[in-house]
């Protein structure tokens, strides 16, 4: 049975110990592999490691060595040599296993487990200020940012620890499956709703984890298992995060896939599935920068307002609304962006990315990276205008006047 429980942060170490000791108990009960069932040579000659038919030692005797005797005992064939050895370390594991089984029962720990745990939002904590020379911003629109950091560690922009609520939320609620965090939510009600959806899904005998995917339903990023809706990133959720809502949906689905031992989907593959995109033969390469954050809220060449959280980019000539799969040649990370602006206006650069796109490409630190890109298209969009044109009624001629 799968239980939805709230685990206070103080219980995290107990939960880990219970999980460890339950595994230890299973190991002790399962016996040894066939080729290890015979004790090592000389084992039966050691009185302190011999099999005893007496009762198990008390807690005060666990760490006390027995006095060697001259009597030799043989290990019965039907007895597990591992569990019959009364060494201090094994007796300690057995004692911990026995103790934790009572803790597990009292705390209602079941496996597999869907849990909701409250924790501190790391983003609400004060962070050290960056050095004045940590970055230099370009004053040219579309010129991007040049950051100089040493020892930059490549990050997974979809990881649970990257998808945190806004700093205004001091506490957050983690939805966990099999001990792995699936999502961090700002309110307990939201976390409970997601946990219950996952619980119901795992109870379905026909559920296949391979069917977990992120989609767009009525313009809303949605997490699904086949046709079953697990969650939707609605306007309220969007306002509580400063991450792209489509990436938020992909992250939660990927985390759930990982917890259920199914390979997560790469970002670009998940985006292609969400927007029904296919690759074309049109390719390009060059250097990509990313927007100066000061341009947030400024109008783009299409008239849209520039939003650093959107997965967009500027290109000198590509048609607007072109989808482009961009790959950072240094890290081999890929993300799909939509062209909605013109630029960049520096000769050594041909693409300017939003901050969110740069984050997914791990290009924030270097600022300017070599890229390769391929144009993506939606076959359904290409067909629709032709169909619309074929059924469009002819335009009536205006009456002539003499």
Sorted by where each begins, the domain ranges of the chain are 1-29+80-111, 155-175+186-265, 278-382
Q: Per-residue pLDDT for 402 more than 80?
A: no
Q: Would you tell me how many other CB atoms lie within 10 Å of the CB of residue 354? A: 27
Global pTM exceeds 0.75: no
Q: Which two tokens stand for residue 224?
A: 């699904």
Tell me how many degrees the CA angle 128-133-134 measures, rounded to the nearest 5. 55
Query: Could you tell me the pLDDT band of residue 149, with boundaries at 50, 70 and 90?
Result: very low
Q: With 80 as the cut, is the pLDDT of residue 212 above it?
A: yes
Q: What value does the mean pLDDT take over residues 342-350?
A: 91
Q: Which of 131, 124, 139, 134 is nearest to 293 (CA)?
A: 139
Please, what's the b/e burial string for 56-71 (b: 16 or more CB within 10 A of its CB; e: otherwise)?
ebeeeebeeeeeeeee
Q: What is the rounded CA–CA span in Å between residue 390 and residue 384?
A: 10
Asked whether the beta carbons of 103 and 307 are under 8 A apart, the reply is: no
Q: Mean pLDDT across the stretch 283-303?
A: 93
Q: How far is CA 129 from the centre of its chain?
A: 28
Strands across the sheet containing 212-217:
212-217, 220-225, 228-232
Q: Which fold has domain 278-382?
A: Barwin-like endoglucanases (2.40.40)
Smallest CA-to-CA distance from 351 within 364, 341, 366 is with 341
pLDDT at residue 100 in the model? 55
Dump pLDDT digits (tens) for 31-88.
544 444 444 444 444 433 333 344 444 433 333 334 444 444 444 545 544 445 556 6
- What are the strands of the beta sheet with 114-120, ordered from one edge? 4-7, 114-120, 171-177, 180-185
Q: What is the tens place of the pLDDT at every residue in 13-32?
A: 444 444 444 544 554 455 54
User: What is the pLDDT, as a whole number, of residue 105?
Assistant: 52
Scanning 142-261, the segments in alpha helix (DSSP H) are: 188-203, 235-240, 245-259
CB 280 within 8 A of CB 327: no
Rounded mean pLDDT, 147-165: 74
Span 219-226, average pLDDT: 96
Q: What is the dihedral of CA 262, 115, 15, 204, to 10 degrees?
A: -50
pLDDT at 293: 85
- What is the mean pLDDT of the segment spanning 151-170? 86
Does the pLDDT of residue 237 top 50, yes or no?
A: yes
């Amino acid at each position: 049975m799968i239980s939805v429980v709230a685990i206070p942060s103080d219980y995290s170490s107990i939960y880990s110990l219970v999980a460890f000791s339950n595994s230890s108990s299973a190991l002790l009960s399962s016996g040894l592999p066939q080729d290890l069932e015979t004790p090592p040579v000389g084992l039966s000659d050691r009185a302190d490691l011999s099999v005893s038919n007496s009762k198990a030692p008390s807690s005060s005797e666990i760490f006390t060595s027995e006095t060697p005797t001259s009597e030799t005992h043989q290990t019965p064939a039907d007895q597990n040599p591992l569990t019959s050895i009364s060494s201090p370390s094994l007796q300690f594991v057995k004692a911990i296993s026995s103790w934790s089984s009572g803790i597990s029962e009292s705390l209602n720990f079941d496996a597999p487990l869907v849990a909701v745990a409250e924790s501190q939002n790391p983003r609400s904590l004060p962070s050290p200020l960056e050095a004045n020379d940590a970055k230099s911003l370009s004053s040219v629109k579309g010129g991007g940012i040049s950051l100089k950091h040493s020892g930059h560690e490549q990050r997974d922009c979809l990881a649970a620890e990257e998808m945190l609520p806004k700093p205004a939320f001091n506490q957050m609620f983690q939805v966990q499956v099999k001990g792995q965090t699936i999502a961090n939510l700002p309110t307990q009600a939201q976390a409970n709703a997601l946990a219950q959806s996952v619980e119901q899904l795992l109870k379905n005998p026909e559920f296949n984890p391979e069917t977990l995917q992120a989609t767009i339903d009525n313009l809303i990023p949605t997490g699904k298992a086949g046709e079953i809706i697990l969650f939707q990133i609605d306007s309220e959720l969007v306002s509580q995060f400063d991450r792209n809502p489509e990436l938020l949906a992909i992250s939660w689905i990927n985390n759930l896939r990982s917890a259920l031992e199914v390979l997560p989907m790469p970002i670009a593959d998940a985006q292609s599935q969400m927007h029904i995109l296919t690759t074309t033969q049109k390719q390009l390469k060059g250097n990509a920068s990313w927007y100066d954050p000061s341009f947030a809220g400024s109008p783009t060449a299409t008239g849209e307002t520039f939003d650093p959280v959107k997965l967009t980019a500027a290109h000198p000539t590509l048609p607007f609304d072109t989808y482009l799969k961009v790959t950072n040649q240094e890290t081999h990370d890929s993300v799909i962006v939509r062209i909605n602006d013109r630029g960049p206006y520096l000769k050594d650069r041909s693409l300017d990315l939003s901050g969110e796109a740069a984050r997914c490409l791990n290009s924030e630190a270097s600022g300017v990276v070599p890229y390769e890109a391929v144009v993506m298209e939606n076959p359904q969009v290409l067909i629709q205008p032709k169909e619309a044109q074929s059924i469009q009624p002819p335009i009536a001629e205006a009456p002539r006047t003499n």
